[in-house]
């Protein structure tokens, strides 16, 4: 018997993929890799992309360590198996007489349409009914339609705000939220155990199990999204909008029109979907410079506000005039403003607001002020929506994360940059009618709840031993926590991986400081540590401009101190 080395195994995997790969581009890439041999084949075919709570995401290319049509078909086959065999009693389907239903959608990235088409044909080939939305469309439309149609799962082909070279595969379950354990791990195991799918596993494009939806599904989302604002609230506002070359424009404009707002002025260079994102280095509205074109247009036209979505329109960024210049609000600023706006416009002490452990603590204070429930969760909207799902007596009205993700109501159990944009426009129009600005409203929150400033630093651990050095540093911080960070005393430390943690176990440390806190956690996708800092001036001076300068200086000092604490093992 011949002994197969790791390299031989990778080459055999590559040849197996070559036999079933339907795409001429990745077939040619695999042939080239096999011809070159060595580490290149092992790097692409020695392992596969991890399927987790966010589904799949990675660089386009050949092999199981990249996003491609074979990988998508494998994942769709695993999802079909999970739906058909694991929902009902004794491991059988929930309803043997009715096929499970999956809603599928895609954005405008390279290969997204092909990935979606392969998905519905593979699912139908396994006996799963599908609704393919008339894309390219925003992620919130998929998340809404899943619940609106009572589907068993939803799949969105998108890499959100990742670099142009990437694509991804986001999976939702019957509760309308992104999958969590154990569903994610069960699908991952099914991917490993299943044979490579071939063209014979695909249903015909006109299979009766595939419904190719028209605009009615989008219209349902538009009508429901427009209802998140009050019928009689102010509408006088001039808006500049950019979808950052993504798919948000048409849907957002329809929602604003349906809600009675004037049509936003779209940045012309960034209005059409373009998977190459030619005007930005990185298609993330949080990245400095991403909103430059929009702010310049707003300044030239005298607009009241800039609203921006990321390419799949599930995130929102906001810029507003601040004196003679423009200010891009942080995700925590937008979250606090939207939360206060939503709570001011409603009633009921069973209302629930939620945010993550790495976001600002101001939301808790806002919730207390309005007499409503508050929940703190792990990072990601798969967790932010959970408190509302777990407590049917609650009324989930708002959730957010500091990374520009917001959910206004629970019509979408995920972040939704379109409804968030509409709600923020309502807030800005309300302030404008009263002769005030968004900054005036933010200052009101500071006076009531304290001046909160937040920031993030990342420390990369390079080299093959980066992950082990990072783990060693986290253990060191656990066993010997610092007494102070940047001259701010450590009052206590909470280890979220320890027994008795208030949240599901995760590798993160929360340092509660005098007048602030620091959260340290490893990235879920890269060898780096993230340090989330918050500094609070509980009683800011009357001159809020000077108070903000002073608090920002303290924040920078805390972030510098965190960097020094973490870089000892990152060299």
Residues forming the active site: 160
Rg (CA), the chain: 24
Strands (E), 41-87: 56-59
> Collapsing DSSP states into helix, strand and coil, what is residue 339?
helix
Q: How far is CA 196 from CA 118, 155, 192, 277, in A?
A: 14, 20, 10, 33
Cα separation, 481 vs 484, whole angstroms: 9
For 547, the enclosing helix (H) or strand (E) is helix 544-567
Cα separation, 76 vs 114, whole angstroms: 13
Cα separation, 148 vs 416, whole angstroms: 16
**CB-CB contact of 496 with 343 (8 Å):** no
- Phi and psi at residue 137, to the nearest 5°: -140, 165
**CB-CB contact of 479 with 567 (8 Å):** no
For 563, the enclosing helix (H) or strand (E) is helix 544-567
Neighbours of 95 (CB within 10 A): 11
| Contacts (Cβ under 8 Å, ≥6 apart) of 225 | 140, 144, 255, 258, 411, 416, 418, 419, 422
Q: Where are the alpha helices (DSSP H) in 231-310?
A: 249-259, 292-301
Tokens of residue 187, six digits? 């699908």
Region at 91 (left for phi over 0; alpha for psi -120 to 50; beta for the rest): left
Cα separation, 142 vs 132, whole angstroms: 10
> Collapsing DSSP states into helix, strand and coil, what is residue 359?
coil
Q: In what order do the strands lie in the sheet with 405-408?
A: 373-377, 351-356, 395-401, 405-408
Instruction: Give DSSP secondary structure letters for 437-488.
Output: -HHHHHHHHHHHH-EEEEEEEEEE--STTHHHHHHHHHHHHHHS--SEETTE
């Amino acid at each position: 018997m011949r002994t197969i080395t790791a390299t031989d195994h990778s080459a055999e995997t590559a040849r197996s993929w070559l036999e079933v790969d339907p795409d001429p581009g990745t077939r040619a890439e695999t042939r080239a890799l096999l011809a070159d041999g060595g580490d290149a084949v092992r790097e692409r075919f020695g392992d596969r992309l991890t399927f987790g709570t966010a589904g799949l995401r990675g660089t386009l290319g050949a092999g199981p360590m990249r996003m491609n049509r074979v990988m998508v078909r494998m994942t769709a086959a695993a999802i079909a198996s999970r739906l058909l065999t694991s929902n009902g009693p004794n491991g059988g389907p929930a309803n043997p007489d009715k096929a499970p239903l999956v809603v599928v959608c895609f954005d405008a990235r390279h290969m997204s349409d092909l990935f979606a088409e392969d998905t519905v044909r593979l699912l139908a080939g396994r006996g799963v009914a599908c609704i393919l939305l008339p894309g390219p469309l925003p992620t919130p439309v998929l998340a809404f339609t899943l619940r609106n149609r009572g589907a068993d799962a939803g799949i969105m082909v998108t890499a959100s705000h990742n670099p142009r070279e990437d694509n991804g595969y986001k999976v939702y379950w019957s509760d309308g939220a992104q999958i969590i354990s154990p569903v994610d791990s069960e699908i991952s195991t099914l991917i490993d155990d299943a044979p490579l799918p071939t063209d014979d596993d695909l249903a015909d494009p006109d299979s009766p199990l595939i419904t190719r939806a028209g605009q009615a599904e989008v219209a349902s989302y538009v009508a429901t999204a427009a209802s998140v604002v009050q019928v009689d609230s102010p509408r006088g506002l001039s808006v500049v909008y950019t979808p950052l070359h993504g798919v948000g424009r048409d849907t957002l404009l329809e929602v604003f029109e349906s809600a009675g707002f004037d049509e936003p002025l779209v940045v012309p260079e960034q209005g059409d979907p373009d998977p190459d994102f030619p005007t930005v280095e990185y298609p993330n509205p949080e990245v400095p410079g991403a909103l430059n074109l929009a702010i310049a247009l707003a300044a030239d036209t005298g607009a009241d506000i800039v609203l921006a979505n990321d390419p799949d329109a599930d995130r929102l960024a906001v810029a507003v005039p601040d004196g003679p210049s423009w200010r891009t609000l942080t995700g925590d600023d937008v979250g606090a403003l939207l939360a206060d706006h939503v709570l001011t416009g409603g009633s009921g002490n069973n209302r629930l607001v939620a945010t993550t452990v790495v976001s600002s603590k101001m939301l808790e204070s806002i919730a207390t002020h309005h007499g409503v429930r508050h929940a703190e969760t792990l990072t990601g909207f798969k967790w932010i929506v959970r408190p509302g799902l777990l407590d049917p007596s609650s009324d989930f009205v708002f959730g957010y994360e500091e990374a520009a993700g917001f959910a206004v109501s629970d019509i979408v159990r995920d972040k939704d940059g379109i409804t968030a944009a509409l709600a923020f426009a309502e807030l800005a129009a309300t302030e404008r009618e009263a002769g005030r600005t968004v900054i005036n409203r933010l200052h009101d929150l500071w006076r009531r709840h304290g001046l909160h400033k937040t920031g993030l630093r990342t420390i990369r651990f390079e080299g093959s031993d980066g992950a082990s050095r990072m783990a060693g540093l986290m253990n060191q911080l656990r066993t010997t926590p610092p007494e102070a960070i940047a001259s701010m005393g450590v009052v206590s430390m909470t280890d979220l991986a320890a027994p008795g943690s208030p949240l599901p176990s995760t590798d993160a440390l929360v340092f509660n400081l005098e007048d602030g806190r620091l959260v340290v956690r490893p990235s879920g996708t890269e060898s780096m540590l993230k340090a989330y800092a918050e500094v609070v001036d509980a009683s800011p001076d009357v001159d809020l401009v000077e108070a903000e300068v002073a608090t920002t200086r303290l924040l920078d000092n805390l972030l510098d101190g965190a960097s020094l604490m973490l870089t000892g093992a990152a060299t």
